[in-house]
Structure 1
């Protein structure tokens, strides 16, 4: 298995296999598993970057003021639905119909 440096993925466009982009990779979520960190999901889309702001009180207030937490455009892609073997061009491994299931809901904040 090849090693992929996660910092090479941040900010990259994520593509369908036919070349259309669904947005930029903004967050990589990992959980601790013993002494390892295991990637569980990738956050992709125009509002994924704003999600980082919600960790602070000021960020949450800004998101609420501009009603950004209710907007569409954030996908939470499970680790096994993204091919990162070419970190310069991450590619979805699911059909377009499946993507709707990964769209973040307002209660996911």
Structure 2
């Protein structure tokens, strides 16, 4: 199991296989697996940034509008869809079409 300091990943640009910038890692989802914490997915894009800035703390209608916008402008990258062998230069190992939008 590889260990990477999360501080090195947040804010890093993610490149496609062709070398085009897809967006920056703004949030990292982790899950507990018995005694370990594992990365399940990375959230990139402007919607992920809003998520990271805790839009849940905003009042009523403003929060709802921001959440709708965040969902439409956030991409999720599963842990196995990204090459982190160089944490300062994360790169997709799949086609961009294989990524999930939410």
Q: Give the structure-1-normalised TM-score.
A: 0.78
Change (3 A) 1:51 1:20: same
Q: Which runs of 5+ in 1 are unaligned?
A: 105-109
1:31–1:37 CA contact under 8 A, matched in 2: yes
- Alpha carbon RMSD of aligned pairs, Å? 1.9
Question: 4+ residue stretches of structure 1 with deviation over 3 A?
Answer: 59-63
1:49-86, Cα deviation, whole Å (9 max, x unpaired): 11131343x2665432xx23223220111110111111
Change (3 A) 1:92 1:59: farther
Task: Give the match for residue 55 of structure 2.
Answer: 54
Change (3 A) 1:63 1:35: same
1:39–1:79 CA contact under 8 A, matched in 2: yes
Q: Distance in 2 between matches of 1:59 and 1:44?
A: 24
Q: How far 1:2 sits from its partner (Å)?
A: 4.7
> Which structure has greater strand proportion?
2
1:41–1:78 CA contact under 8 A, matched in 2: yes
1:73-103, Cα deviation, whole Å (9 max, x unpaired): 201111101111111111111112213xx10
SS in 2 for 1:10: coil
Q: Distance in 2 between matches of 1:83 and 1:59?
A: 38
Task: Give the match for residue 83 of structure 2.
Answer: 83
Q: Distance in 2 between matches of 1:78 and 1:20?
A: 19
Q: How far 1:5 sits from its partner (Å)?
A: 1.1
Q: Give the structure-2-normalised TM-score.
A: 0.83
